[in-house]
Amino acid sequence: MTVPWLSVAVAVPLLGAALAALLPARLTAAPRLIALGCAAVSALAVAATWVRFDGGQGMQLVEEVEWIPALDVAWRLGVDGMSLAMAALTVVLFAVTIAYGVGPRPMTRAAAALLLLLEAACLAFFLAQDFILFYVAFDLTLVAMYFLIALWGEANRRYAALKFFLYTLIGSLPVLLGIIALYLTSEPNTFDMTVLAADPAVRGAGTGATLIWLAFFVGFAIKTPIVPFHTWLPAAHVEAPTAGSVLLAGVLLKLGTYGLVRVNLQMLPDAFARYALPVALLGLVSVVFGALVALAQRDLKRLVAYTSINHMGYVVIGVAAAAAAGGASRAGELAVDGAVFQMVAHGVVTAALFFLAGFIASRAGTRDLDELSGLMRPMPVYGTLAALAFFASLGLPGLAQFPGELQIFLGAFAVWPAVAALAVLGLVVSAALFLRALQRAFLGEPAERWARLPDLHARELVALVPLMVLTVALGVYPPLVLDLIDSTAWLAGAGP
Partner 1 sequence: MNGAAQGASVDWAALSPLLALAGGALVVLMVGLFPGRGVRDRVVPGLALLTLAVTAGLLVWQYDTSTDLLEGALRVDGLTVTLSFVFVVAGMATVVMTWRHLDPVESPGPELYTLLLSSIGGMVVLVAAQDLVTLFLGFELLSIPLYVLCAIQLRRRGSLESGLKYLVVGSVGSATLVYGFALIYGAAGTTGFAGIAEAISGDLSSDVLLLAGLALAIVGFAFKASVAPFHQWTPDVYEGAPTPITAFMATATKAAALGVLLRFLDVALLPAAEAWAPAVAVLAAVTIVVGNVGALGQSSLKRLLAWSGVAQAGYLLAGVVVGTSLGVQATVFYLAVYLLMNMAAFAVIAARERETNLGDSVDALAGLGTSRPWLAWPMTIAMLALAGFPLTAGFIGKFKLIEASVASGYTWVGLMIVIGSMISLAYYLKVIAAMWMREAPAGAAAVAATGPRPALAGASTEAQITAPTRHTRRGTGELTVMAVLFGAATLVVGIVPQPLLDFAAKAGEAFPGLF
Q: Assess 193 for contact with partner 1 (CB under 8 A).
A: no
Q: Assess 150 for contact with partner 1 (CB under 8 A).
A: yes
Q: How far apart are CA 271 and CA 448, in angstroms?
A: 60
Q: How far apart are CA 17 and CA 38, in angstroms?
A: 9
Among 53, 100, 164, 165, binds partner 1 (CB under 8 A): 165
Among 162, 195, 381, 489, binds partner 1 (CB under 8 A): 162
Q: Assess 283 for contact with partner 1 (CB under 8 A).
A: no
Q: How far apart are CA 215 and CA 219, in angstroms?
A: 7
* HSE, side-chain direction, 13 A CA sphere, residue 261: 34
Q: Assess 434 for contact with partner 1 (CB under 8 A).
A: no
Which residues, in sequence order, are bridge partners of residue 77? Answer: 63, 128
Smallest distance from partner 1 to CB 139, Å: 5
Smallest distance from partner 1 to CB 234, Å: 21
Outline where 186-275 has alpha helix (H): 193-198, 207-223, 232-239, 242-247, 253-259, 269-274
Phi, psi at residue 54, to the nearest 5°? -100, 5
Among 18, 65, 170, 451, binds partner 1 (CB under 8 A): 170
Smallest distance from partner 1 to CB 347, Å: 25
**From the centroid of its chain, how far is CA 192?**
24
Among 181, 196, 253, 260, binds partner 1 (CB under 8 A): 181
Among 28, 57, 65, 158, binds partner 1 (CB under 8 A): 158
How many residues line the site for partner 1 (CB under 8 A)?
25
Q: Assess 184 for contact with partner 1 (CB under 8 A).
A: yes
Under a CB-based contact definition with an 8 Å cutoff, are residues 135 and 223 in contact?
A: no
Among 78, 81, 153, 174, binds partner 1 (CB under 8 A): 174
The site string for partner 1 over 57-86 (x = CB under 8 A, - otherwise) reads: -----------xxxx---------------
Question: Which of the residues 116 through 135 are near partner 1 (CB under 8 A)?
Answer: 135
Q: How far apart are CA 253 and CA 314, in angstroms?
A: 13
Residue span binding partner 1 (CB under 8 A) among the ranges 1-9, 175-183, 297-305, 433-441: 175-183
Q: How far apart are CA 459 and CA 42, in angstroms?
A: 21
Residue span binding partner 1 (CB under 8 A) among the ranges 170-178, 216-224, 256-264, 297-305: 170-178
Among 177, 281, 465, 473, binds partner 1 (CB under 8 A): 177
Q: How far apart are CA 142 and CA 114, in angstroms?
A: 11
Nearer to partner 1, 73 or 84 (CB): 73
Smallest distance from partner 1 to CB 477, Å: 40
Nearer to partner 1, 14 or 320 (CB): 14
Among 18, 173, 328, 428, binds partner 1 (CB under 8 A): 173
Smallest distance from partner 1 to CB 158, Å: 5
Q: How far apart are CA 36 and CA 97, in angstroms?
A: 10
Q: 3-state DSSP call for residue 333?
A: helix
Among 27, 166, 421, 476, binds partner 1 (CB under 8 A): 166
Smallest distance from partner 1 to CB 46, Å: 23
Helix or strand run (H / E) with residue 67: strand 60-68
Q: 3-state DSSP call for residue 368?
A: strand
Nearer to partner 1, 170 or 428 (CB): 170
Residue among 488, 493, 492 nearest 79 (CA): 488
Smallest distance from partner 1 to CB 87, Å: 21
106: preceding bond cis by omega (within 30 degrees) = yes
* HSE, side-chain direction, 13 A CA sphere, residue 83: 31
Tell me 77's DSSP state. Answer: E
Q: How far apart are CA 118 and CA 327, in angstroms?
A: 33
Among 140, 160, 255, 320, binds partner 1 (CB under 8 A): 140
Smallest distance from partner 1 to CB 70, Å: 5
Nearer to partner 1, 191 or 490 (CB): 191
Angstrom distances, CA of residue 428 to CA of 175, 369, 395, 421? 35, 20, 10, 11
Smallest distance from partner 1 to CB 21, Å: 11
Residue among 308, 304, 326 nearest 316 (CA): 308
Smallest distance from partner 1 to CB 357, Å: 25
Q: Assess 136 for contact with partner 1 (CB under 8 A).
A: yes
Q: How many C-beta neighbours within 10 Å does residue 398 have?
A: 12
Binding site for partner 1 (CB under 8 A): 68-71, 135-136, 139-140, 143, 147, 150, 158, 162, 165-166, 169-170, 173-174, 176-177, 180-181, 183-184
